[in-house]
Structure 1
Amino acid sequence: MKRDELAEHFVELNFMPQDACRWLAPSELRTLGAQTLSQIFGSYADKRELQKVFDSNLITIPAHGEELAEGEPLWFDYTADVGDGFEATYTVAALLAQDELSVEGLGELLPRGRMLVLGGDEVYPRANTKAYEDRTVGPYRAAMPWATPQPLMLALPGNHDWYDGLTAFLRLFTQDRMIGGWRTEQKRSYFTVQLPHRWWLVGLDSQLDSYFDDPQLRYFESTLTANLQPGDSVIVCAATPAWLKSSSGEPDAFNGLEWFERNFVTSRKVPGGLDPEPTGAQVRLWLSGDKHHYMRFAEKLQPGEAPDVARQMVTCGLGGAYLDTTHELAEELQLLPAESRNWREGDDEVAFVQQPVTYPSMEQSRAWVNRLALPWRPEWLVRRNPGVFTVFALTHFLIFLFLLLIFWQGIQAKNNGRIIDAYISARPPTLLRFIGGLLAVVLLAFVICLLPKLRGRPPLLSVKAMVLASSQLVTGCACFVGFGLLPADTFGPLAAWLTFFIVIVAVSVIGGVIGAFFLGIWIVVYMSKGLTAWAMMGQAIEEGKGFLRLRLDPDGSLTIYPIVTEKLVRDYEISDKMVLTSSGRFTKIPVPAEPVPTPRLIEQPFRVLPTPRT
């Protein structure tokens, strides 16, 4: 059975399998408003300040009572942006859950990770208890209802987790609950994990890119900074890849992460002293999601240096949400440019270079963005977001009534005719003069809106908004004139009111289709001016999901395997066996009626060597 059929058994499953979010549908556009409100009120409802009453636990892997055999590597996983459509989320979870994962082109089986790090946005579109249960807990419980030993699950909140002030996130991930076969251990919305072979993993909660709260900083001082030794290596997980903005007109974008590295990793305060002391440790790997693609930046090295010594910055947000673009990002990043407020005299100008393999590829990314505006494609705006047609149909219905009222009052009222008769019996020159005059007035209004640009100020209305408004107004005017030019007896002996009803329905349908078509073109044309994400979120591409599997070897080297699958599990059955949920209830689970797809590598595994020990 398919997902929609599976959803009919939600009582047996104890969750409702969800369709992928249709981000440009009217019902989901409310999320944009929720995001704005969460940013406005986030500082007033910042639950991080309250977390100081929670335990301040340092997590260790392997857990107490577990040991690695001599020479055995530690495996763990990273994914982000999960909890969207059921098929995508379940497929990723099913691959993560396999005892041994077979990967195309790889001559070895990859053991399941002892730890799974969720790097942000654990649910879409808005965080609440039911959404987590339906979009995250349910699919992960179905993919691995039990496991021995139980791998650890850690979660970092992203902007979507913050939409309810972090209430549901803290209830799910910080109270020692089981999520299927995964156990949770963290006590706060951030964490420090001590790994073998002098590696550390840190999860930062920057609360909608605002700041690091004092309880969080004190937590990292005690669990991380105080324990660092010369030669230690650190992995930092951030909710957003701030480094991507640092070379695109935002020189301060990386300041927060750079400040954390400078003050909590590479140096620490000395009690009673003014100057910090160096720790000898270094951030060797930065991980993030938020952008739903795979992209890697490696530190620019001097000639002759081995690639393994380069620090790495990896974005991998392929855990479930729509696929994003890769072709408009900078080829080289200056993380701390001279324009940055954090820059100090003597700071090194560290550069990171984009690596050639991305997912989706640059060529795919360029080609895919245009599909939103192509009506013959299944990814067309209206096909993927049906509510868009309804909005534009209603918009053009209202535009038609507005034009009709102005036309009747300004042109035909002197004849004391009825409004419907005035329109149906209007002569072509009268209609054309009316529309020409109206468009001239609108054009004059747009010119007035642009006048401030002559003085170097922003226009009263953005050019983008004027272009979109013009496309809809011209469409509405064309429909008004086009149907007004039809002969009065076009629909035979029908009464005038019935003829008018047919006309207004036709205007709504045609206007809805053409209006949505122009919206798709507008998004694609202006995607380089802040609408790039819209061009992809409107398509809601579910395929192309994956994660990182990491191997930490006894010699201290870290190997990263970037994994993706273009196929999803879309056919299911309901198991006969009952499983016990974390809430103490027994439930059934969906199981694949087809083989779980075999994933492939996005690029060949790459190594990160530990911090040099001097």
Structure 2
Amino acid sequence: MTALHPELGSEPSRSSTGGAGWGCRQPGIGAGLAPVDNRFSWLSPGPLIASRNDVLARRLGDPTDGQRREWLRRLDAYAEAAGAPPPPRDRLVTRFADRDSISVAVLGDPGEGDASQYVVVPVLERVAGDTDLGIVCSDVVYPAGGVRAYRDRFYRAYAGYRAPLYGLPGNHDWYDGLTGFMTTFCDVAPDVGEPSPDVPGPWWKRVVRRLLWRHAPKATAQDVAEMRWYRDEESQQAVQPGPYCAIDAGPVRLVLIDVGIDGHIDREQGDWLREVSAGDRPKILLTGKPLYTYAHAQPCPIEGGGFVDDIVTDPANNYVAAIGGDDHNYQRYPVRQPDGRTILYLVAGGSGAYLSATHQIPNVDRLAPAVHEEDFRCYPLRGDSLAHFSRRYDRVLGLGLGRLVISPDDATTLMAERVGITPPRAGSATVPARERRAADFIFPLPARGTAPAHNLMSVLFDSNAVPQFKSFLRLDATGEEIVVSCWAATGCREHEIDPVLEDRMRATRQPDGRWAWTSETPGRPVP
């Protein structure tokens, strides 16, 4: 296996239902690696109650920007007290800067700590165990941060991954005031407490927020030492200079931003982003919320004016891709710019949390001429998503009688009809009337709402049943070529041994210095 051309293993979901994991002959070993007492369920009230800061912040005032500024001030103060130089103003990690080539694993929204996270581990170690570094992109732990939660959701889960791991926080990581994240990634003492900045607003909102706000659970240095035992090799160590930073990774610069709870960046971070984005080095943005998802643009506002996507699309900044978490699946949007360039926008949040339905993604031609349906990809396929959720709906809403179950072949045909596309793999010639009625019942169920259940039905009907439809990215880059590969983790043993490559995009540097993306999707070349 070479860095830029890993050999293909099992056939992908576009080629067969078996490639998607349907009819799995033997469950994999990944699920068995999860702690036996760590069954995570969004159907229980505990995770939703623990996530209440999301609702409180949106309704009563969000302290995130003030807390972030205080965390950065603390990092400077800690360095001064220790007689060490302060974190660089550009918050730039340079330990990989002299590499001629680089390989990076990107794990999006992994941290439930149960089987749905651990099924990814054998595939990660199989196809990305040789990468130079990894990045956890959004929602490192669920449901609401906390230092102790990192034991099973970070340290234990990736004990076998030998390279350093960096991170960028998602909204769930902010529900403890970012204490767990700052302890894990920035080496802050776990007992310093979360910042408590003043939040403007009416007095009654401040009082209610103070009464209901969930504060960071306590932890000690001994707790952290015991957790770090799982990842104590020298090659695994990394300290980053804040919740947002940039990594000069050989021929590319990886820019990690922190969009807090509600999906914006503060004024200071916006100024930093403009500075760190300048120059000819090709750049890839990594963010806690995607800039394109569900066939909609989410440009990410900056406090004081402007949008993150304005910076990404500025030709002077030479961005080639933007990768975001938060939605728990894989989506690919190669977006053509007015000047003829193409920037690759990816959703990569499928590395462990509940599956976000893809059958609710409309025909992407609605974004034309910037991007067309024929260039869009998702994992799971829309039909597999419909088949997967029909089983959960049948069990919970249909009393397990089978009346809501839709087969993968029938779901493939139904979704092709509904979206108006050619089926990505062969479906059924005729769909039974019962399954059409089941689809008519399932489609109106809401799939996208407001946090903490931002994919409402996906949250409530979470399942650890095989196939799991998890995924992660491997990024390989040289000075002339960038390859982004989406690897699947179905939960089947055969796919742990011979992993499934679901999608691949390759960018090559052109004579004029621009980067041109081409698709190398395995299987049938349609969405």
Provide the TM-score with structure 1 as the length reference: 0.54
- Name 1:404's counterpart in structure 2: none
Q: Which residue of 158, 163, 168 corresponds with 2:175?
A: 163
Quick check: 1:300–1:310 contact (8 Å CA) kept in 2? yes
Quick check: 1:299–1:312 contact (8 Å CA) kept in 2? yes
**Residue 47 of structure 1: how far off its partner (Å):** 1.9
Q: Which residue of 530, 537, 543 corresponds with 2:459?
A: 537
Structure with higher helix content: 1
Quick check: 1:548–1:562 contact (8 Å CA) kept in 2? yes
CA distance in 2, matches of 1:379, 1:161: 35
CA distance in 2, matches of 1:21, 1:201: 32
Q: Describe the shift of the 1:137–1:568 C-alpha distance in structure 2 as closer, same or farther (beyond 3 A).
A: farther
Per-residue CA distance 1:376-429 (angstroms, 9 max, x = gap)? 999969xxxxxxxxxxxxxxxxxxxxxxxxxxxxxxxxxxxxxxxxxxxxxxxx
**Residue 221 of structure 1: how far off its partner (Å):** 5.0
Q: Describe the shift of the 1:262–1:2 C-alpha distance in structure 2 as closer, same or farther (beyond 3 A).
A: closer
Q: Which residue of 474, 479, 489 corresponds with 1:549?
A: 474
User: Does residue 52 in structure 1 map to residue 72 in structure 2?
Assistant: yes
- Name 2:240's counterpart in structure 1: 186
**Residue 186 of structure 1: how far off its partner (Å):** 0.8
Q: Which residue of 488, 493, 502 corresponds with 1:602?
A: 502
**Residue 545 of structure 1: how far off its partner (Å):** 1.9
Q: Which residue of 233, 242, 249 corresponds with 1:195?
A: 249
Partner amino acid, structure 2, of 1:121: D
Tell me the secondary structure at the aligned position of residue 560 of structure 1. strand
Percent identical among aligned pairs is: 21
- Name 1:88's counterpart in structure 2: 116
Q: Which residue of 273, 278, 299 corresponds with 1:220?
A: 273
Quick check: 1:3–1:86 contact (8 Å CA) kept in 2? no
CA distance in 2, matches of 1:209, 1:551: 31
**Residue 212 of structure 1: how far off its partner (Å):** 2.0
**Residue 111 of structure 1: how far off its partner (Å):** 6.2
Q: Describe the shift of the 1:94–1:46 C-alpha distance in structure 2 as closer, same or farther (beyond 3 A).
A: farther
**Residue 364 of structure 1: how far off its partner (Å):** 1.2
Per-residue CA distance 1:417-445 (angstroms, 9 max, x = gap)? xxxxxxxxxxxxxxxxxxxxxxxxxxxxx
**Residue 31 of structure 1: how far off its partner (Å):** 4.2
CA distance in 1, matches of 2:353, 2:64: 29
Partner amino acid, structure 1, of 2:456: W
- Name 2:259's counterpart in structure 1: 206
Q: Describe the shift of the 1:44–1:298 C-alpha distance in structure 2 as closer, same or farther (beyond 3 A).
A: closer
Partner amino acid, structure 1, of 2:264: Y
Per-residue CA distance 1:469-504 (angstroms, 9 max, x = gap)? xxxxxxxxxxxxxxxxxxxxxxxxxxxxxxxxxxxx
**Residue 209 of structure 1: how far off its partner (Å):** 2.8
Q: Describe the shift of the 1:526–1:91 C-alpha distance in structure 2 as closer, same or farther (beyond 3 A).
A: closer
- Name 1:260's counterpart in structure 2: 308
User: Does residue 566 in structure 1 map to residue 465 in structure 2?
Assistant: no
Quick check: 1:78–1:119 contact (8 Å CA) kept in 2? yes
**Residue 34 of structure 1: how far off its partner (Å):** 3.8
Partner amino acid, structure 1, of 2:457: A
**Residue 568 of structure 1: how far off its partner (Å):** 5.9
CA distance in 2, matches of 1:360, 1:379: 25
Tell me the secondary structure at the aligned position of residue 254 of structure 2. strand
Quick check: 1:76–1:112 contact (8 Å CA) kept in 2? no
- Name 1:352's counterpart in structure 2: 371
Alignment of 1:488-503 (within 5 A): none
Q: Which residue of 20, 31, 40 corresponds with 1:21?
A: 40
Tell me the secondary structure at the aligned position of residue 358 of structure 1. strand
Tell me the secondary structure at the aligned position of residue 56 of structure 2. helix
Partner amino acid, structure 1, of 2:351: G
- Name 1:591's counterpart in structure 2: none
Partner amino acid, structure 2, of 1:534: L
Q: Which residue of 45, 65, 78 corresponds with 2:106?
A: 78
CA distance in 2, matches of 1:6, 1:561: 25
CA distance in 1, matches of 2:43, 2:50: 10
User: Does residue 527 in structure 1 map to residue 446 in structure 2?
Assistant: yes
CA distance in 1, matches of 2:146, 2:459: 22
- Name 2:327's counterpart in structure 1: 291
- Name 2:353's counterpart in structure 1: 321
Q: Describe the shift of the 1:359–1:264 C-alpha distance in structure 2 as closer, same or farther (beyond 3 A).
A: closer
Per-residue CA distance 1:525-571 (angstroms, 9 max, x = gap)? 4326748933322332332222111110232x2111110121267xx
For the pair shown, the structure with the greater C-alpha radius of gyration is: 1
Q: Describe the shift of the 1:613–1:370 C-alpha distance in structure 2 as closer, same or farther (beyond 3 A).
A: same
Aligned residues, how many?
383
Q: Provide structure 1 residue ranges, at least 5 long, that are not aligned to the other structure.
A: 8-15, 102-109, 267-278, 336-348, 382-520, 570-593
CA distance in 2, matches of 1:292, 1:562: 14
CA distance in 2, matches of 1:526, 1:90: 29
CA distance in 2, matches of 1:160, 1:127: 6
Q: Describe the shift of the 1:331–1:380 C-alpha distance in structure 2 as closer, same or farther (beyond 3 A).
A: same
Quick check: 1:205–1:239 contact (8 Å CA) kept in 2? yes
Quick check: 1:523–1:535 contact (8 Å CA) kept in 2? no
**Residue 595 of structure 1: how far off its partner (Å):** 10
CA distance in 2, matches of 1:83, 1:357: 24
Tell me the secondary structure at the aligned position of residue 564 of structure 1. strand
**Residue 608 of structure 1: how far off its partner (Å):** 2.4
Tell me the secondary structure at the aligned position of residue 563 of structure 1. strand
Per-residue CA distance 1:14-42 (angstroms, 9 max, x = gap)? xx555342112233332453421244453
Q: Which residue of 124, 127, 136 corresponds with 2:142?
A: 124
CA distance in 1, matches of 2:48, 2:396: 24
Partner amino acid, structure 1, of 2:289: T
Partner amino acid, structure 1, of 2:106: Y
- Name 2:166's counterpart in structure 1: 154
Q: Describe the shift of the 1:529–1:93 C-alpha distance in structure 2 as closer, same or farther (beyond 3 A).
A: closer
Quick check: 1:332–1:351 contact (8 Å CA) kept in 2? no
Alignment of 1:474-513 (within 5 A): none
Tell me the secondary structure at the aligned position of residue 209 of structure 1. coil
Quick check: 2:337–2:343 contact (8 Å CA) kept in 1? no
CA distance in 1, matches of 2:400, 2:67: 40
CA distance in 2, matches of 1:568, 1:363: 19
Per-residue CA distance 1:64-100 (angstroms, 9 max, x = gap)? xxx54xxx632111111112133333342343345xx
Tell me the secondary structure at the aligned position of residue 455 of structure 2. helix
Quick check: 2:447–2:457 contact (8 Å CA) kept in 1? no
Partner amino acid, structure 2, of 1:118: V
- Name 1:282's counterpart in structure 2: 318
Please identify runs of 4+ aligned residues in structure 1 that moved more than 6 A.
1-7, 376-381, 521-524
CA distance in 2, matches of 1:218, 1:526: 41
Q: Describe the shift of the 1:157–1:610 C-alpha distance in structure 2 as closer, same or farther (beyond 3 A).
A: farther
CA distance in 1, matches of 2:322, 2:107: 13
